[in-house]
Amino acid sequence: MKKSIISLAVAAGLVASMPAQAGDVKVKWFGFAQITAQQLSEKDTTTPPTDGLTFGADRVRFGFKIKDGNVFGKLQADLNKDGAGPSGTLTNTIKDMEAGYKFSNAASIKAGQFKTPVGMDFNTSGKKLDITKRGMEKKLVMERAAGIMLSGRKIANGIGYDLFYGNPASRGSASAAGTVGDANSYAARIMYDMGKMMHVELGYGVDETSGTTPADDDYSVIDLGFRMRMAAMTIKFEYIDGTSVKGVDGNDETVWYGHFAYNVNKTTELLVRHYQADADIGASSTSLTNTYLGANFFLGSNKTNGRIQLNYVIAGGDDAGSTTPFAGTAKGYVDDAFLAQYQVSF
């Protein structure tokens, strides 16, 4: 951890010491911290029980973005993480590190480590999430990977795309555990935006395995996301389907959610989001549901600075108290929970 902090301090010093004559270079610093409290309901079945009030930090991030004409770059660090990353990735402290060049709206290219282009909610910044936690579908996306990506946005007033190729997506929980240099991951996404009112996207990704047994298979994932904003209302829907989870043929999972939010005024938003996860793992078929009832309070100068989030999560399906507990990779609450989070950002 000390080495990571020292490295980040050196990088910050280098950026801060850029010569004054480099007037075209634009550096934007950013950071945010999320302090979270959690209380599980009394039906918690663990021994010893873990239903007491606990405190922690979901994310403690800072970084910078650089733009010099058509050249751009980004570094984002998470001080809440430590240790070496999975094979083929950077240290866990480094979330994103990229450098790229924009030819036009229709084509920009970047290399480094960054989010793969599968998952609408996953590709939303952690400081802009509607609820306190990442959703259940996050475990099925390919997460971050090191590689290269070609992208386009605002083509024909609304079309966008991403094409990614890189190392195995070993940061993802559903990874097929391919060997660097032997296996690779690739993904594609196409999207359409009607201004800020409507967004729809379709993504597909594959994470190759290096396995040799008949049960070994490449992990593949498909995602469909939709978002609509109308006056004070926001509606979202996302469906994600993972095949051969963790590189095992026959292990298949799906997650979908529906989301409705209403802005009571400029500082208060009420929402409900329902998740449904289904897992076919070997001969076991189980399901899990999480329903979030939430309120967001915006106390700062914008919606991400000085934000308070309150959520009550209702768990259903095959939970921890069931004779057939949920066996999927998708992560959700198996016990009702109350969550509170305070975020400050710049």
Report the C-alpha gap between 10 and 252 in whole angstroms: 44
In 3D space, the residue among 281, 86, 66 whose CA is nearest the CA of residue 167 turns out to be 86
Domains and CATH numbers, the chain: 2-345 (2.40.160.10)
Angle at 134 between CA 238 and CA 125, to 5 degrees: 85
Is the preceding peptide bond at 48 cis, omega within 30 degrees of 0? yes
Q: Which pLDDT does position 8 carry in this prediction?
A: 44
Of residues 161 and 212, more confidence is placed in 161
Mean pLDDT (the chain) is 91
Report the C-alpha gap between 53 and 310 in whole angstroms: 14
Look at residue 6 and tell me whether its pLDDT is greater than 60: no
Report the C-alpha gap between 314 and 36 in whole angstroms: 18
pLDDT, average across residues 271-278: 98
116-148 tens-digit pLDDT? 999 999 999 999 999 999 999 999 999 999 999
Least confident of 136-145, 221-230, 245-254, 315-324: 315-324
- Amino acid letter, 303: K
41-57 tens-digit pLDDT? 866 566 676 678 899 99
* Contact between residue 41 and residue 49 where contact means Cβ atoms under 8 Å apart: no
Least confident of 85-89, 197-201, 234-238: 85-89
Q: Which pLDDT does position 41 carry in this prediction?
A: 81
Q: Which pLDDT does position 40 carry in this prediction?
A: 86
- Amino acid letter, 110: K
Q: Which pLDDT does position 282 carry in this prediction?
A: 85
* Contact between residue 77 and residue 94 where contact means Cβ atoms under 8 Å apart: yes
Look at residue 209 and tell me whether its pLDDT is greater than 90: yes
Look at residue 1 and tell me whether its pLDDT is greater than 60: no
* Contact between residue 236 and residue 217 where contact means Cβ atoms under 8 Å apart: no
What's the gap between Cα 47 and its chain centre? Answer: 31
Q: Which pLDDT does position 212 carry in this prediction?
A: 87
Query: What three-state secondary structure class fits 9?
Result: helix
Look at residue 96 and tell me whether its pLDDT is greater than 60: yes
Look at residue 231 and tell me whether its pLDDT is greater than 50: yes
DSSP assignment string, 246-291: GGBTT-EEEEEEEEEEEEEETTEEEEEEEEEEEEEETTEEEEEEEE
Look at residue 108 and tell me whether its pLDDT is greater than 90: yes
In 3D space, the residue among 342, 345, 10, 329 whose CA is nearest the CA of residue 177 turns out to be 329
Beta strands in the chain (DSSP E): 25-40, 53-68, 71-78, 94-104, 107-115, 144-155, 159-166, 185-194, 198-207, 219-230, 233-243, 252-265, 268-281, 284-298, 307-317, 337-345
Q: Which pLDDT does position 42 carry in this prediction?
A: 66
